[in-house]
Amino acid sequence: MATINASVNITTDIMSGVSINKEMVMTKAGTTLGIENTSGLSAKTVQSTTAFKLFGNADATTLKASKVYIRNTGSSSTDFFYIGFGEDLDAATVETIGKLYGNDWMLIPWDAVAATSHDIYAKASTAEAMTLEFMAFIE
């Protein structure tokens, strides 16, 4: 059985005594068995503000447990990647879930459904060269 562990450590000087240290084992839906597959770690460098698909429903098993890791490899505090769900990041029906600035990253659960409305897209805020690193952990 494969084991994929994820951990996060958050400390702050904003509030005294706040420290979050959490770990999780990525498991298959409804079981304690570990997720055994990945899309592999990929990186894409863009020099355009055109949206591009990171993951679609063909990249995972529908209605199973999946997690997605995405990181902006840059260091800019002003340039970022929009991250969103939908059929086309430029369309009005897409839900932008956030922006990843330089060195920002995210790890989220992903419900890959048969429709393309849950496809994951990215779009750079500038036409300057920017690189996004990404990987899906899937059943």
- Find out whether 29 and 121 touch, Cβ atoms under 8 Å: no
The string of pLDDT tens digits covering residues 81-135 is 999 988 665 565 668 899 999 999 999 998 877 666 678 999 999 999 999 999 9
The CA distance from 83 to 80, in Å, is: 10
What are the sequence ranges of the domains in the chain?
A: 37-138
Distance of CA 44 to the CA centre of its chain: 13
Window from 11-15, 40-44, 78-82 with minimum mean pLDDT: 11-15
User: pTM of this prediction?
Assistant: 0.89
- Which CATH number fits the domain 37-138, given the four candidates 3.90.1570.10, 2.60.120.10, 3.40.50.880, 3.40.50.10490? 2.60.120.10
